[in-house]
Structure 1
Amino acid sequence: MRKLLIFAEQGFTVAALLMYSGAIFVLILSGGASQDDIVEYDTSLIRIIFFLFYAVTFFLLVLRWKKTLYFFVLAKDILLYSLIVLVIVSITWSFEPSTTLKNSFTLLNSSLFGVYFASRYSLKQQLHLLAWTFGIVIVLSFIFAVALPKYGIQNDIGSPKLRGVFVHKNGLGARMVTSSTVFFILAYQAKRRSLILWVGFSLSVLLLLLSVSTSSLVNLLIIIFAFFAFQIWRWSYRVMIPTLILVATISQILYFWLSNDADILFSSLGKDSTLTGRTELWPLVMDMIWKHPWLGYGYGGFWQGWDGESAYIWRGSGWFPNHPHSGYLALCLDLGFLGLGLFCLGFCRSYLKGFSWVRSSKTAFDIWPLLHMTYIALASLTESALLESNSLNWMLYVAACLSVRMTHQNQIMKKM
């Protein structure tokens, strides 16, 4: 009976991860519409499913209330908790309080699932559950592309691009970065009997390439490089310090070379120097940030079409974005520099603790939190992938931050 309950709980976790990934449901309910298409469809089914996941997550946390409370106290990530509280209280100054109320409720529950994921499962178990989730996504993406091309193929951006079970090709590309990272870590650690894991990694990369998501491909290459660079931190100081200096020197040379030849680099990747209009959008966004620099417009209170403050952006840019294509600018619009400061301080503290944990550990699993935080920092440069409600990225970020802090505290307690 106990094994059956554990299996059922793991099944719930995989189903929740699949839902938070944004796969399948939105694509089907929209009738295969593109992310940029203005299509009205009933989202009540999605809201009901998410509400059920919220309820089950809360029940599981309460069921293990002693462990949950212990986890909260021991992790004591005050900066992360403060950021979530700031989201909730932003209702008081929001330009659209009803939207802020709804979005803050979903963000809180997304964060609670991150708490559940980190407190219930070890890093190894987290990666295996993510592998099952992405395995389902990979299989369904190929099925949709072949059997249901109306849904699996995106045809409104020039030549057809694969989008699998997501509403946009960039959605598939972004998820395949995380999928590739998960399968790579598991395959690297397994060594023996890792064929199926390397197949998962290869199929993830193939889907990423077929999505033609350039930024996701660049992010994946950086993540793979970071995986090996982080392992240098485990070497003896006599070898580690010269190696890190060498890596830093090469990185600086590459940075200056890329800065001087940015146009050539962008053209070789099929992009223009405006990053598909982003650099023209960002000055307009900064204009609006400086109107309410400290607290912003409330969580989700800015982008209200022609009826909100976003009308200035729409008139000035000549197109109709629903986010600033930058997680950091999105955070400033929502919560001002106070919110951005809380996030950056919390990120840096968790990142440093992640390095401390990697230094004292031996497995590839322990590098996962650092890699995901690195990915969040990179993806947020050109996509609003930071403080999103009902988002896999945010949920995994919460789990990563709490996991490294928990393992760091346990490590300290063992030495005492």
Structure 2
Amino acid sequence: MRKILIFAEQGFTIVALMMFSGAVLNVILSGGAGQQSLVEYDSSLIRIVFFFIYAVTFLLLVLRWKKTLYFLILSKDVWLYSLIILSAVSITWSFAPAITLKNSFTLISSSLFGVYFASRYSLKQQLHLLALNFGIIIVLSFVFAVALPKYGIQTDIGSPKLRGVFMHKNGLGSRMVTSSIVFFILGYQTQRRSWIFWVGFSLSVLLLLLSTSTSSLINLLILILAFFAFQIWRWSYLVMVPTIIMMATIIQTFYFWFSNNSELLFTSLGKDATLTGRTEIWPLVIDRIWKHPWLGYGYGGFWQGWDGESAYIWRIVGWVPSHPHNGYLALCLDLGLLGLGLFLLGYWRSYLQGFASMRRSKTALDIWPLIHMTYIALASTTESSLLESNSLNWMLYVAASLSVRMTHEIKVKS
């Protein structure tokens, strides 16, 4: 009976991870429409499934209330808790209180799943469950592309691009970055049957390339380099210090080169210097941020179409972005500089504790939280997936941050 319950719980976790990944349901319910089509569709089924996930997550946390309470208290992630509370409290000054109420509820609920994921499973178990989730997504993406091209191929952006089980090709690209890293770490760490994980890594990279998501490909290359760079932290100080100095010199040299040759690099990658219009939006967004700099417009209170503050940006740029394509600017719009400050303080502390915990360990698995936090920082420069409810990136950030803090506190006390 116990094995059946464990199997059922793991099945629930996989379903939840699929939903947080944004796979399958959105693209099917939209009838295969792309993001450029702005098609409205009935998403009640998605809301029902998420409500089921929230309810089961809350029940599982309550059933293990002692462990949950111990985990939350020991992790002491005050900055993270404060940021989530601030999003809920922002209903009092929000420009769209109903939207803020709904979004803050889903943010709290998806964050609770991150708490459950971190407190219920070890890092090794988390990665194996993520690998199973992405394995299903990879298989379905190829099936959709071949057997259901109406859903698997995106045709509203010029030449057709593979999007698999996602609404947009960039959605496939960003998920395959996480998928590639998960399979890479497991393949690097596992001795027996590691070929399974290397096949998963290869297929993830293949899907990423077929999605033609340039930013995702660059992020993946940076993360793989970061994986090996982080292991330098485990070396003796005599070797580690000069190595870090040499790497810092190389990075600084590349930065100066990039500053003078950015247009050449973007052209070679098939991109324009405005990052597909992103840099045209950012000054306008910053101008709106300074209208309400400290507390913002409320969580989800800015982008309300022609009836909201976003109309100012839409009129000027001549198209209708639904977010600023930058996670840090999106956070400032929602919760002001106070919200951004709370995030950065919590992020920095978790990042430092991740390095401390990694130095005391010898497995590749302990690098995962640092890798995902690095990915969050990278992806947020061009996408608005930082403080996003029902998002795999945010849920995994909560889990990674709490796992790092829990590991750090346990090792300090021991």
Q: TM-score range by the shorter chain?
A: over 0.9
TM-score of the aligned structures, taking structure 2 as reference length? 0.99
- List aligned pairs for 1:375-414, cutoff 5 A: 375-414=375-414
- List aligned pairs for 1:29-108, cutoff 5 A: 29-108=29-108
- What's the counterpart of residue 23 of structure 2? 23
**For 1:350 and 1:106, how far apart are their aligned partners in 2?**
23
- 2:37–2:156 contact (8 Å) kept in structure 1: no
Q: Secondary structure at the match of 1:165?
A: coil
More moved, 238-247 vs 79-88: 238-247
- 2:223–2:371 contact (8 Å) kept in structure 1: yes
**Offset of 1:104 from its aligned partner?**
0.2
**Offset of 1:94 from its aligned partner?**
0.2
- What's the counterpart of residue 266 of structure 1? 266
**Offset of 1:90 from its aligned partner?**
0.2
Deviations 1:321-340 (A, max 9, x none): 00000000000000000000
- What's the counterpart of residue 252 of structure 1? 252
- What's the counterpart of residue 8 of structure 2? 8
Q: Secondary structure at the match of 1:296?
A: coil
- List aligned pairs for 1:53-202, cutoff 5 A: 53-202=53-202
- 2:183–2:197 contact (8 Å) kept in structure 1: yes
**Offset of 1:256 from its aligned partner?**
1.0
**For 1:10 and 1:236, how far apart are their aligned partners in 2?**
40
Q: Secondary structure at the match of 1:197?
A: helix
The residue identity in structure 2 corresponding to 1:218 is I
**For 1:176 and 1:255, how far apart are their aligned partners in 2?**
27
More moved, 172-181 vs 251-260: 251-260
- What's the counterpart of residue 217 of structure 1? 217
**Offset of 1:159 from its aligned partner?**
1.3
**For 1:379 and 1:265, how far apart are their aligned partners in 2?**
19
- 2:118–2:400 contact (8 Å) kept in structure 1: yes
**Offset of 1:191 from its aligned partner?**
3.4
**Offset of 1:36 from its aligned partner?**
2.3
**Offset of 1:124 from its aligned partner?**
0.4
Which 4+ stretches in 1 moved above 4 angstroms? none
Aligned residues: CA RMSD:
0.6
The residue identity in structure 1 corresponding to 2:119 is S
The residue identity in structure 1 corresponding to 2:72 is F
**For 1:36 and 1:182, how far apart are their aligned partners in 2?**
30
- What's the counterpart of residue 357 of structure 1? 357
- 2:23–2:166 contact (8 Å) kept in structure 1: yes
**For 1:274 and 1:20, how far apart are their aligned partners in 2?**
30
Report how many residues are paired: 414
User: Does 1:323 find its partner at 2:323?
Assistant: yes
**For 1:140 and 1:37, how far apart are their aligned partners in 2?**
23
Q: Secondary structure at the match of 2:294?
A: coil
Structure 1, unmatched stretches of 5+, are: none
**For 1:256 and 1:207, how far apart are their aligned partners in 2?**
33
Deviations 1:54-105 (A, max 9, x none): 0000000000000000001000100000000000000000000000000000
Identity level (%):
78
The residue identity in structure 2 corresponding to 1:258 is F
- List aligned pairs for 1:234-383, cutoff 5 A: 234-383=234-383
The residue identity in structure 1 corresponding to 2:224 is I
**Offset of 1:192 from its aligned partner?**
3.5
**Offset of 1:238 from its aligned partner?**
0.6
**For 1:411 and 1:292, how far apart are their aligned partners in 2?**
42
Deviations 1:89-137 (A, max 9, x none): 0000000000000000000000000000000000000000000000000
**For 1:238 and 1:290, how far apart are their aligned partners in 2?**
47
**For 1:8 and 1:132, how far apart are their aligned partners in 2?**
15
The residue identity in structure 2 corresponding to 1:311 is A
- 2:36–2:157 contact (8 Å) kept in structure 1: no
**Offset of 1:40 from its aligned partner?**
1.5
**Offset of 1:413 from its aligned partner?**
1.1
**For 1:141 and 1:257, how far apart are their aligned partners in 2?**
38
The residue identity in structure 1 corresponding to 2:111 is S
**For 2:272 and 2:39, how far apart are their aligned partners in 1?**
29
**Offset of 1:223 from its aligned partner?**
0.2
**For 1:320 and 1:212, how far apart are their aligned partners in 2?**
23
